[in-house]
Each structure stands twice: as C-alpha cells, then as structure tokens.
Structure 1
Amino acid sequence: MAIKWEGVMPAVTTKFTTDDQLDLKMFQTNIEAQLDAGVNGIILGGTLGEASTLTYDEKRELTRFTKELVGTKVPVIMNIAEQTTKGAIKAAEIAEEDGASGLMMLPPMRYLADDRETTEYFKETAKSTSLPIMVYNNPIDYKIEVTLDMFEELLKEDNIQAVKESTRDISNVTRIINRFDDRLKILCGVDTLAMESMIMGANGWVAGLVCAFPKETVAIYKLVKAGRIKEALEIYRWFLPVLELDINPKLVQNIKLAEVATGIGTENVRAPRLPLAGEERKQVQAILDKAMATRPEITSEVLVS
C-alpha cells in the first residue's frame, strides 16, 4: 500500500492485560477509534509502543493483527530501532513479510555512530527492502542528529522519503523545505510543536496524545491545512497542557492514563515501567480531569473536510 507521508499518524501504545500479555481486544478498540477519527496511518513499535520490552513474536503478532484489522484503509508502519545494520535489515525483512506498508527508522541504538556510520546504516537498510522509509530524527532523546548534508546522501535511495522531525528546532522545517523542496516529506514528531510545524509547511504529524484524543488531533491537522487557523488554535490551546505530557520521561504512563480517561486504553505497562503513583499521578490526573471537563466538541464537518 502506497504511503503519502501526510496527515496524522498515531504512534500507538501497545496494550497489555493485567497478566502482562498482549491485550488485542483493547488494542482493537483504540485502533478503531483512530480510524473513525480519520488518521492517515498507524505506527507500531515506537517509544510509546514499548518496543524495547516486546518479544520478537509479539512484534510479529502486532503487525499481522493490525494489518488484518485496518486492511487497505491506512498504511501500517513498523518502527525499527536496532543496534546493528544486520539487525535493522532483518527487522525490515520481517516487517515486509508481516504486511507492513512502510518503516520508521531510528539511527543505531546504544553505539554513538558518527555521520558516516549513521548514513551507511540507513542506506544499507534501505537497499535491502522495497518498503518506503521515514527517518526518525530525534537527537534530543537518541543523541544522533541526521543533518541536512546526511539527508542529501540518504535521498539517493528512492525509498527514503520522509523525516519524523523531532529536533525541537521549529526553523528546521523551513531549512528542510528550502534544501529539498518536496523530495523529503516532513512529519512533526513533537506534539507541542505540531501546529507550529504544520503552519511552517510540515506535511503531517506523528502524534502521541492522539492515542487518547484522536478526533481533536485530526481536527487540528485538517483545520490548519484548510487555513482555518483561528479554529485550530482554539482546540490547540485547550490541548497544549495535555500535549506536554508527551515531552516527559514518563510519556508512556502519561498517555496510557489519558487513554483511560477517554475510554480507549488501560494503564497496564510492561516492567520495569510501572503505572503512575503518588503525587506524580495526581498531577497528571489533574491535567486530564481539567481537559475532560473542558473538552471541545469536534463536529463531523471538521473531521470529513
């Protein structure tokens, strides 16, 4: 299935039962809510998906289940976060076998690769697969930046097509457009900068809090793209305190608690993560309680526009 690399693409959480098994029933409930809101893709196995805690078989089960669930409605994209080029190539092969439509790729994990090593890592993986690739550029959390000069080299591979822009430098959107025009699609990867990035020309939003608030997220995207900035701002200003839960070391727990608030998830996480507790939980719950009490009404007219 072709990927346009635009719109809202949820980096979905992985649902677990109380006895630490995959909770495919609740996972389906959440995915159906995403589809009903009009998202443009589903991304599995990212940070929010707790991929580092998933077994090899669980990742395969999630990919196959999601592909069967969404059919041809939207592309299913699997994240690759591997330590070796060999491992990344194998992960890409498995994702393709299991029906994924594309890949999101982090730089090499653990080893702090230099520019040449990072570039070769992406290029060798791209050469090994027919799947289109979005490079996840997040030097804040993962310590390796994919520079514009590196992208110039990477774009020699036709299936490297997009970037999840998470440098947290809003002007980088303009730099990318000035350098590459439409050759490199841009999806904002930081919830608190999403509206600003799209106004500056980003093609879409790899979102986190969409996991709990899909209609609000899609509405912001559609209103911005329609030039209805004032209407988008009304939703975005309401949303911002909740979006800030995404830029936090406990983002997985925060967002899963938000999913509980909206009825499309559970708090269950996989150890060593634990659900929020004490004062930390109270603070997050207070943010969510206020958001739910003042939640805007999203009309169907906005979602289908």
Structure 2
Amino acid sequence: MVGDPNPNSKRGKPDPQKIRCPHCAGPLTKEMETSEWTVPPLIRDSFSMIGSAVGGTAGAFYGFNHVKVRKWRPPRAAVIPNFHIPMRSYEVKNRTNVDEIKALRLISAIKTPYLPDGRFDLEAYDTLVNMQIDGGVEGIIVGGTTGEGQLMSWDEHIMLIGHTVNCFGSSVKVIDNTGSNSTREAIHATEQGLVFHFESVLQMGPTIVYNVPSRTGQDIPLGVIWALAQNPNLAGVKECVGHARVGEHVSNGLVVWSGNDDECHDSRRDHRGRGVISVASNLVPGLMREMMFGGKNPGLNARVLPLVKWLFEEPNPIGVNTALAQLGVVRPVFRLPYVPRAMEKRVEFVKIVEELGRESFVGDEEIRVLDDDDFFQH
C-alpha cells in the first residue's frame, strides 16, 4: 500500500527532501505545511486516472508540458524510505482529456530493467523509453504486467511513475498501472484514501478498462463495461478476448485497443479497433507503428507473428525480458519468480531477429545468445 491516507498518522508527514526519484528528479513536493495533504505538484499538475472493473487493471494518465533533463547518475536506492503520496484532496490541472486518449493507436507496455543487485536500472529504462518514442510509440504503460508492477513495492512503483512523468511526460503519454489482483487493494491504492468504489475512479479522470481474463480470472461482462461507458471519462477498453468482442464494443460506440499482439493488425483493419497496447513494440516499435498507422498489410503481419508467438510461449514478460537482454538493451537481470527462457529458445530468438533484420529491433548491439551464467536472478 502506498502510504497512509490519514494526515495525522503516526508516520508523520513525508520529508520533502527525501521524496524524490533517486535518478533525476528533484523533490516531488515543494511544501506540505497544511494539515490537509495534497497531491505533489509533479503528479497533480496533469493527473487523471485509468481504471478497471472487477478483475481488470487500473492506472493513471499523465501529460506534462516540460521535460527536466539532468546528467545521469547511479541511483542511490531502488526506492526512498517512507515515500508515500497521500491523496485526500487534490487539484487537477491540465488534465489529459478523453479525446486525446482515444486518439492513441500505439501504446507500449514498457519493460522495467534491473541492475544486478535488483534495483531499477533507470539508465537502461530511459534508453528503452527513448527508443519507444523514436519508434513512434504514442503512450507507455508503467508498471503493468509487462513492467512487473506486481513484483514492485508500492514505493518503487510510485517512484518509477514520478521519474517517467518528470523525464518523458512532454514526449509521450504516461499511463500508470495501479491495478492489483485484489480489487480492494487496487481501489485503495488508486484512490489514496478515498472510500468510494470503482465509480470514484472514473470520476477522477479519463479511464481505460482492461479486460484480460487469462490473467485476472474474470471476463468482465459486456453489460458492466457498457454501463461504465455512460460515464464520459471512460476512454475505451483494452480487450483480450478476441475479434468478436472487439466488434461488439465498437458497435456500441466504444474505443477498443487490442491487448493481443497477434490479433492487433486484423483487429484494427477488419474489426474497427483503434490500435494496440503492445508488448512486441518494446522490441520492434517501428514495425508495430507501421501496422497501426499504415494500410492493411497482411504480409508484414505474417512476418511479425513468429516473434509474437515466441514472446508469448511462456507467461509475459519472460519472453520480452529475455529478448531485450539478448539485444543488449537491458542487463540480463530477472526478478523471481520470472526466469529467462531456455537455451534452445534463446537460440531461436536470434534466428527470428536475423530473419526480420537486426535493424528492425531496438538497440544497436549485435544480437547474441546468452549463457545461463550470464543471468542474474533476485
């Protein structure tokens, strides 16, 4: 849980000099002198939530009109002790509007890299985000399943959000995952002390509903989503059930992003989907952008499918973590229970890269097969 919503908590008020991203950001709050805490300006200035119905995933949209760039220095810690952002009251300014969100076609569920000691590798993270931006990605999801938010402490999660917004908020839409396998925990974390249920999340700002029953164990009923659609803050649905479901949503006036890389081309071209929330775009953002913004291209789709199949033969993000390590973009570090793909599959990935062309992938290092001893696990 992120912090204590009670301003009179025995934990006391956070130290403005400690609440900072250890990589680049200054303090996340300038002052906390009133008895009623407010959201720090870094997050408050462009704050709006995305959420889920029961069993889905929640998050937040952030958009900023500036980027603070500082020379990189090694992180002092993965998180800062006692980092928490109570949200009993807040003021929303410059909110990303629903129409801006609906227009997004290519969103990457970004991978979170690690240092050998298990802390976040923010230098590699920044490089990967910049590769996404250069490849034409319009939004990134921070701390989703692909980004292993479920393996982060809330302190780590909030720090990574602040870092991403601070560094990249003017160049790409930053979407924070605040979901949880526990509905009560997800709602509490999203609302930071507010006691209302899911409708309260919708009231906070633009919302995307995630329907990923393979992960949540619950297929959100159509009637639930359509009822939520009456709220003007519902931007759309990430749908992983298939083309027929995408078509049903679109016929009812909803914006839909495919959550399946292997279906996103046909979903957009044949079933009127808006775009994709993609894992493969971590590796080949340019190709995924071409599929979303170019004309119908079954040939390109067929070329990319072997990569997508390889990525999802084991639970995500095992494939993308292994692939980015072999491309030299991130260090070969895994947080347990995730472990790298087997040696024969690592060899297979090298062949896939060679067939698609190394130039189609992120990074500029030569692709190589990593040995078992090359990997760190924490």
Tell me, yes or no, whether TM beats 0.5: yes
State the 1:124 CA deviation.
4.2
Q: What SS class does the counterpart of residue 231 from structure 2 fall into? A: coil
Pick the aligned partner of 1:255 from 320, 327, 333: 320
Distance 1:204 1:171 in 2: 15
* Residues 245 and 251 in structure 1, CA contact (< 8 A), matched pair in contact too: no
Pick the aligned partner of 2:233 from 159, 172, 176: 159
Distance 2:154 2:360 in 1: 39
Residue of structure 1 in register with 2:264 after alignment:
194
Residue of structure 2 in register with 1:245 after alignment:
310
Distance 1:246 1:138 in 2: 17
Q: Which blocks of at least 5 consecutive residues in structure 1 are unaligned?
A: 95-119, 297-305
Correspondence 1:213 to 2:289: no
State the number of aligned residues.
259
State the 1:196 CA deviation.
0.5
* Residues 245 and 255 in structure 1, CA contact (< 8 A), matched pair in contact too: no
Correspondences of 1:95-174 after superposition (within 5 Å): 122-127=198-203, 130-167=204-241, 169-174=242-247
Residue of structure 2 in register with 1:4 after alignment:
101
Distance 2:329 2:338 in 1: 20
State the 1:85 CA deviation.
4.5
CA RMSD of the aligned region, Å? 2.3
TM-score using structure 2 length: 0.63
Q: Which blocks of at least 5 consecutive residues in structure 2 are unaligned?
A: 1-95, 362-378
Pick the aligned partner of 2:165 from 18, 42, 67: 67
State the 1:83 CA deviation.
4.3
Distance 1:47 1:83 in 2: 11
Residue of structure 1 in register with 2:355 after alignment:
290
State the 1:280 CA deviation.
3.8
Distance 2:228 2:106 in 1: 24
* Residues 116 and 331 in structure 2, CA contact (< 8 A), matched pair in contact too: no
TM-aligned CA distance change 1:33 to 1:176, over 3 Å: same
State the 1:293 CA deviation.
5.8
TM-aligned CA distance change 1:170 to 1:121, over 3 Å: farther
TM-aligned CA distance change 1:143 to 1:121, over 3 Å: farther
One-letter identity of the residue aligned with 1:123: E
TM-score using structure 1 length: 0.77
Residue of structure 1 in register with 2:35 after alignment:
none
Residue of structure 1 in register with 2:177 after alignment:
79
Distance 2:346 2:338 in 1: 14
Percent identity between matched residues is: 24
State the 1:205 CA deviation.
0.6
